[in-house]
Amino acid sequence: MALVLVALAAAAGIGLARSASDHGRQDPVRAVAAGLRCPACQGESVADSRSPIAVAMRQVVADQLAQGQDRDEIRRWFVQRYGADVLTDPPARGVRLLLWGVPALALLAGGYAAVRTLRPRAGRARPAAPSMPDARGARRAWRVASVGVVALVVSVAVAADRLDPPARPVPADPVAVAVQLAHDLETQNRYDAAAQMYQEALRERPDDGVRLRLAFALLRAGDSTGAQRTAREVLAREPDSPDGLLVLGLAQRTTQAAEAATTLRRFLAVAPAHPAAAEIKRLLAAQPAPGGP
């Protein structure tokens, strides 16, 4: 029993030490960033997140470390701006403290009860002689219960390890990755490369949403015939697709101005509240009549 307890405590200690030293050893920016919660994400630390805000926060941490600020000063700086929730381990207060306290108290109480039952007290040994079989039963109950608890903890630990990995491969959907990559390329104004990624994604899984983004990327890359072709593919299935009409009309402007005006008017008729509608109206107003020379 004592051995089992010592082994459990040792294992817990090793686990804690390992998780604590995990981020301390490497670079100091990561160590501080790991203690900050990314405000734009769900349950990710600033060290792990790829969101632009988290990247900016890492930069701030690096700048402040370079200026000689220490970990606590930087954490305080972030708390002033983002509130205590920005810390991954906010100071325990109120209900949070209770959440730690109650299990600890329960463990202490259980341990005390176990010790009282398992260790026969010298003072009461003689008068309690008739109750010896009961005491033995109680001791047995305690042992069975403690073995049960240990078994439960071990099985949860094993099951948690088994359950974890299958969750990981799911986000690595090649199509989603390709679309995300293409999107990143677009933000860097690399529309050619983005169009290629979209085409790759479409080969894997045809999707009109991705096709429209491909059309926009082609248009921005200067390939207006490719953009027209792609937009027409979408319009063939969904003749009133606002984005399809929009990209087709914009692409036509380079080659057939008259048709472009017609297509863009249709776009305005289909989606008068579209974010681009105001701009298209201005475009059309600036141009001469559609049937002109």
**283: nearest Cα among 249, 240, 244:** 249
Region near another protein per CB under 8 A, out of 9-17, 126-134, 170-178, 228-236: 126-134
- As a whole number of angstroms, the distance between CA 229 and CA 220 comes to 14
**210: nearest Cα among 239, 174, 169, 240:** 174
- As a whole number of angstroms, the distance between CA 150 and CA 199 comes to 55
Which residue's CB is nearer to another protein, number 26 or number 100?
100
In whole angstroms, how close is the CB of 278 to another protein at the nearest point? 6
Per the document, the length of the chain is 293
Which residue's CB is nearer to another protein, number 220 or number 266?
220
Q: Which of 276, 284, 287, 290 binds another protein (CB under 8 A)?
A: 276
Specify whether the CB–CB gap between 207 and 176 falls below 8 A: no
99 sits near another protein (criterion: CB under 8 A): yes
Helix (H) or strand (E) holding 32: helix 28-33
Touching another protein, residues 75-94 (CB under 8 A): 81-83, 85
Cα 17 to Cα 8, 14, 23, 48, 181, distances in angstroms: 14, 5, 11, 20, 37
Binding mask 179-208 for another protein (x = CB under 8 A): -------xxxx-------------------
Tokens of 16: 């804690």
In whole angstroms, how close is the CB of 67 to another protein at the nearest point? 12
Touching another protein, residues 49-68 (CB under 8 A): 51-53, 55-57, 59-60, 63
Residues that bind another protein (CB under 8 A): 39-40, 51-53, 55-57, 59-60, 63, 81-83, 85, 95, 98-99, 102, 106, 113, 116, 128, 130-131, 134, 186-189, 275-276, 278-279, 282
